[in-house]
Chain A
Amino acid sequence: TQLLEQSPQFLSIQEGENLTVYCNSSSVFSSLQWYRQEPGEGPVLLVTVVTGGEVKKLKRLTFQFGDARKDSSLHITAAQPGDTGLYLCAGLYSGGGADGLTFGKGTHLIIQP
């Protein structure tokens, strides 16, 4: 069974602070995706990383894929209350095709105004 460790599970910080969420595995991913989910809604895809060492930016969010493609991080700069939500990393371990994603447990993020 492939495991995807995500940390922290819960994080409550003040508006304007920075934060980092981590996603780690002992296995190599063929790709890794980050999603954000609001209560009662489906996950919304934020980014997909594929290449080891890849860095992608989405406004104040920076996503990094480890060189060995076993880990990833999400860094949020100057967090805002609108960033509140559940952040999920999800990995694809196989070589491609239609395979289900393995999700981390998620990070429940609360940004206090």
Chain B
Amino acid sequence: DTEVTQTPKHLVMGMTNKKSLKCEQHMGHRAMYWYKQKAKKPPELMFVYSYEKLSINESVPSRFSPECPNSSLLNLHLHALQPEDSALYLCASSQGGQTYNEQFFGPGTRLTVL
């Protein structure tokens, strides 16, 4: 199984809402990632979890709150977002601990903030 799944596929929320994005992998990977991708741009790294601990936070605003309940699951909690936060949010996973780092991406969640 080389699949990373993400739910929901689409999400529309108001600026006062609280919502969560979910990501799951069953490849035994120990590193998981959140990326943000705006239209016609490459993905930009947001967070990295390694062995269930947050290892990288790319200066992401606190209205985005990541959580890694276990090695297979990764959540992104959203609160008080702005319209400019509308984007495709991608989750990825990798083995971790290797000299190279093949990352496998999920299909993404298309987020629209009204």
Contact = CB atoms under 8 A, between A and B. Distances in A.
Contacts of B90: 42-43
A24 interface: no
B101 A99 contact: yes
Contact of A98 (B55, B105, B106): B55
Given A30-B99, A31-B99, A101 B45 contact: yes
A96 interface: yes
A75 interface: no
A113 interface: no
A97 B105 contact: no
Contact of A97 (B6, B41, B97, B104): B97
B2 to A, nearest CB: 9
Contacts of A33: 102-103
Query: Per DSSP, are chain A's interface residues mostly helix, strand or loop, or mixed?
Result: loop
B61 interface: no
Q: How many B residues touch the partner, as a band?
A: 35 or more
Interface in B43-82: 43-45, 48-50, 55-56, 58
Contacts of B56: 98-100
Contact of B105 (A30, A31, A40, A42): A42
B6 to A, nearest CB: 8
Interface string B1-45: 000101000000000000000000000001101010000111111
Interface stretch (A11-19, A76-84, A102-110): A102-110
Interface of A: 30-31, 33, 35, 40-45, 48, 50, 88, 90, 92, 95-106, 108
